[in-house]
């Protein structure tokens, strides 16, 4: 059994992660930490876990946890992981960080966009960006995995075949993404109160959302040269889910058949990607699963492609992808402990 721990176990991402780990046939959770609930049983915070996970929550201590666990998941706000992870810890255990501290390869870009100093720059070269479908081989051989953001997972995978096959003008990419409220975390914020969110739909982080550079980093690798995207996130009055609508100009002569062939070439064999073609995805199709649903249409009038991706932001966008990365790293069947697909007709 793989002994695992979760630091930040009571947030939304952490709670989904704990739920998945408790149900995983090859895993034994042995260490759960939450600064806000030290000394309480996990099932005191989430009564639905009574009898399934009654571990006592501890004050976070990575040094101690790394001696107990084969893998540690960090579900913490940015800056905290970089202050706590050391080479000695990485020598003892695998770290899967659900935060932003190790996602960007350029430390200067991180410090500019996150307006803070990175506390462990010397470890950045070991970090692998944990987008499972694109970096599977590198994930197998590292002890520091940077779990991608939710918006980025959805947007990058939706656009990857188009960029990677050179079917679109990379300077024309526009991404509109809409997320459920859990994407903002579990802490109390006035802007996330029911009366502030219900019956409303709003854009935020316009031109400066931090996931922008994460998307650009990964798509630039596929493009083999730097590119920039126009990314605008939106908040939707629902609990969970992300829908990314991506627009780009097709290169001269590219057909709808070539677009479909590109998606099939890249993702036709992927367990957690469902290619829907012109049957466009909705967030309800992937609710509570680790799947990405992708659909697309070519507009012959404007000579653009419109590609749409949908994920559950708490599963494929956080806890589920973290488990998928763990499975890859420890040589397990990638889908172990994860739900691939739910047909939701309503």
- In angstroms, what CA-CA distances link 110 with 101, 123, 131, 211? 8, 14, 18, 11
Q: In terms of residues, how long is the chain?
A: 346
* Residues 219 and 159: beta-carbon distance below 8 Å: yes
Q: Which helix (H) or strand (E) holds 233?
A: strand 230-235
Q: Could you tell me which residues come within 8 angstroms of residue 224 by beta carbon, excluding any fewer than 6 positions away?
A: none
**How far apart are the two ends of the chain, measured CA to CA in Å?**
38
Q: In angstroms, rounded to a whole number, what is the distance separating the alpha carbons of residues 134 and 301?
A: 32
198 three-class SS: coil
The set of residues, in sequence order, having a beta carbon less than 8 Å from that of 191 and lying 6+ positions away, is 184, 197
Buried b (16+ CB within 10 A) or exposed e, 48-69: ebeeebebebbebebeebbeeb
Q: Catalytic residue among 53, 150, 154, 246, which? A: 150
> Is residue 69 annotated as part of the catalytic site, yes or no?
no
From the list 155, 157, 96, the residue with the least C-alpha distance to 130 is 96
Q: Are 17 and 73 in contact (CB under 8 A)?
A: yes
The set of catalytic residues is 150
């Amino acid at each position: 059994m793989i002994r695992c721990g979760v630091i930040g176990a009571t947030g939304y991402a952490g709670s989904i992660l704990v739920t998945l780990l408790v149900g995983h046939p090859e895993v034994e959770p042995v260490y759960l930490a939450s600064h806000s609930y030290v000394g309480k049983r996990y099932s005191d915070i989430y009564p639905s876990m009574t009898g399934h996970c009654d571990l006592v929550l501890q004050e976070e201590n990575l040094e101690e946890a790394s001696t107990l666990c084969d893998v540690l998941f960090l579900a913490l706000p940015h800056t905290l992981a970089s202050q706590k992870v050391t080479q000695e810890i990485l020598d003892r255990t695998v770290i899967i960080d659900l935060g932003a501290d190790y996602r960007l390869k350029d430390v200067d870009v991180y410090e500019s966009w996150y307006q803070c100093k990175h506390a462990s720059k010397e470890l950045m070269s070991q970090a692998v960006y944990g987008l499972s479908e694109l970096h599977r081989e590198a994930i197998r051989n590292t002890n520091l995995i940077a779990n991608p953001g939710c918006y980025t997972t959805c947007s990058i995978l939706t656009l990857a075949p188009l960029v990677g096959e050179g079917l679109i003008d990379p300077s024309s990419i526009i991404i509109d993404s809409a997320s459920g409220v859990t994407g903002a975390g579990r802490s109390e914020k006035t802007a996330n109160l029911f009366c502030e969110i219900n019956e409303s739909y709003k854009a935020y982080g316009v031109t400066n959302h931090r996931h922008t550079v994460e998307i650009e980093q990964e798509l630039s690798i596929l493009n083999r040269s730097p590119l920039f995207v126009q990314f605008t996130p939106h908040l939707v009055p629902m609990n969970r889910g992300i829908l990314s609508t991506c627009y780009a100009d097709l290169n001269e002569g590219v057909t709808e058949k070539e677009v479909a062939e590109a998606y099939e070439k890249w993702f036709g064999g992927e367990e957690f990607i469902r290619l829907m073609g012109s049957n466009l995805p909705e967030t309800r199709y992937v609710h509570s699963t680790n799947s990405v649903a992708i659909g697309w249409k070519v507009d012959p009038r404007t000579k653009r492609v419109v590609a749409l991706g949908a994920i559950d932001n708490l599963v494929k966008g956080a806890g589920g992808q973290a488990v998928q990365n763990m499975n890859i790293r420890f040589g397990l069947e990638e889908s172990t402990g994860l739900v691939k697909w739910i047909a939701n007709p309503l």
